[in-house]
Structure 1
Amino acid sequence: MTDTITIRKAPGKWSVRSGGAILGETNNALELLEGDKDPVIYFPRADIAMAFLDRTNKVTQCAGKGDATHFSIVNKSSVTENAAWSYENPIDAVAEIKDHLAFYPADSIKVEQL
């Protein structure tokens, strides 16, 4: 299954916002392409304001990437449950996404290229 996953440096600068707060900006995002799914942008944790994220108990499994832990976004006005995920120990074929976070598409979350 991992032969359908491609990871590359995402071109340019990327931002993620939620509830009006900028959670992070980076020039070091990764773009993960998997089959015919939409591309997913992964942000380095070092470029994310982790104080806005609370780890949850949700864990999902992907044969091509491993186990994903999930995080809720918590700000003054709202909580967006299980809004982000991270592969803490991805399988070797996608090791580049370790220490990165991706965000689910939602009305309250904006991932965009600047």
Structure 2
Amino acid sequence: MASHATPTGKTIKIPGPDHPITIERTGSRVVVTLAGQIIAETHDALTLLEAGYPVVLYIPRKDVDMTLLERSSHTTYCPYKGDCAYYSIPSGGERSVDAAWVYENPYDAVASIKAHLAFYPDRVDTIEVDSAAVVLR
């Protein structure tokens, strides 16, 4: 596995056979709802598959109603993707604290998720794909 450190000392790892990451266009309509409101709706979602983790749908920021989200002070770091910022959805109460995340400046290997948000399935009511009410859990 290839890795190196940033000037701030954070390790950057490159996806490979031991930790694969693939990103593809979802090719379906995706709708995220919470408390009777559409939080996001898009035909331009990306599907990210990472090693043994569950599938994650990344939705372009332009297709998220950002007026319903509130930037959180919570941050994390992924050596494969970079620094991660979080958003809460006040209409969901405590359940929806840090419900969405974004890599605003992702590493080159995952650059296509820049300006895309992902949602925790258990912190929203539904994440529907193709209006089929497929709920990611």
- TM-score scaled by structure 1? 0.92
Distance 1:7 1:111, change over 3 A: same
Q: CA RMSD in A?
A: 1.4
Pairing 1:1-114 to 2, within 5 Å after superposition: 1-3=14-16, 4-75=20-91, 78=93, 80-106=96-122, 108-113=124-129, 114=131
CA contact (8 A) 1:2 1:65 kept: no
Count of paired positions = 113
Can you give the 5+ residue segments of structure 2 that lack an aligned partner in the other structure? 1-13, 132-137
Can you give the 5+ residue segments of structure 1 that lack an aligned partner in the other structure? none
Structure 1 runs (4+) deviating above 3 angstroms are: none
2:44 counterpart SS class: coil
CA deviations over 1:26-66 (Å, ceiling 9, x no partner): 00000000012111000000001000111111111111100
CA contact (8 A) 1:55 1:72 kept: yes
The percentage of counterpart residues that share the same residue type is 42
Matches of 1:95 and 1:108 in 2, distance apart?
26
1:96 counterpart SS class: helix
Whichever residue aligns with residue 106 of structure 1, its letter is: D
- Residue 78 of structure 1 and its aligned partner are, at CA, apart by 3.1
- Residue 24 of structure 1 and its aligned partner are, at CA, apart by 1.4
Name whichever structure is richer in strand by fraction: 1
- TM-score scaled by structure 2? 0.78
